[in-house]
Amino acid sequence: MNAELPLAEMTVAEKLRAMEALWADLSERAADDAVPAWHAEVLAERERRLASGEEQVLDWDEAKRQLRREVHEGPDS
């Protein structure tokens, strides 16, 4: 199915209502299909590593600092 909306003619409020309707439908129908089995396995492994202390949680600002440092200086810095 190829659905087209008259986006150029729609107001912002109409576009937001359309997005909300799409999100509600996706949330109801596709929740189980959207997550493949391998993804659930990866999440379970991450939870296990967190619980065992093998991994730690960083706040977003610290994670960004670490990523920037790795990009600019290399992963071993």
In a domain, 3, yes or no: no
In a domain, 46, yes or no: yes
- 29, 21 contact by CB (below 8 A): no
In a domain, 4, yes or no: no
Chain segment 8-21, per-residue pLDDT in tens: 999 999 999 999 99
SS3 of residue 44 by DSSP: helix
User: Does residue 75 carry a pLDDT above 80?
Assistant: no
In a domain, 2, yes or no: no
In a domain, 72, yes or no: yes
How many domains are there within the chain? 1
In a domain, 50, yes or no: yes
- For the entire predicted model, the pTM comes to 0.43
Chain segment 28-58, per-residue pLDDT in tens: 877 667 678 898 899 999 999 999 999 989 9
13 lies in which domain range? 9-77
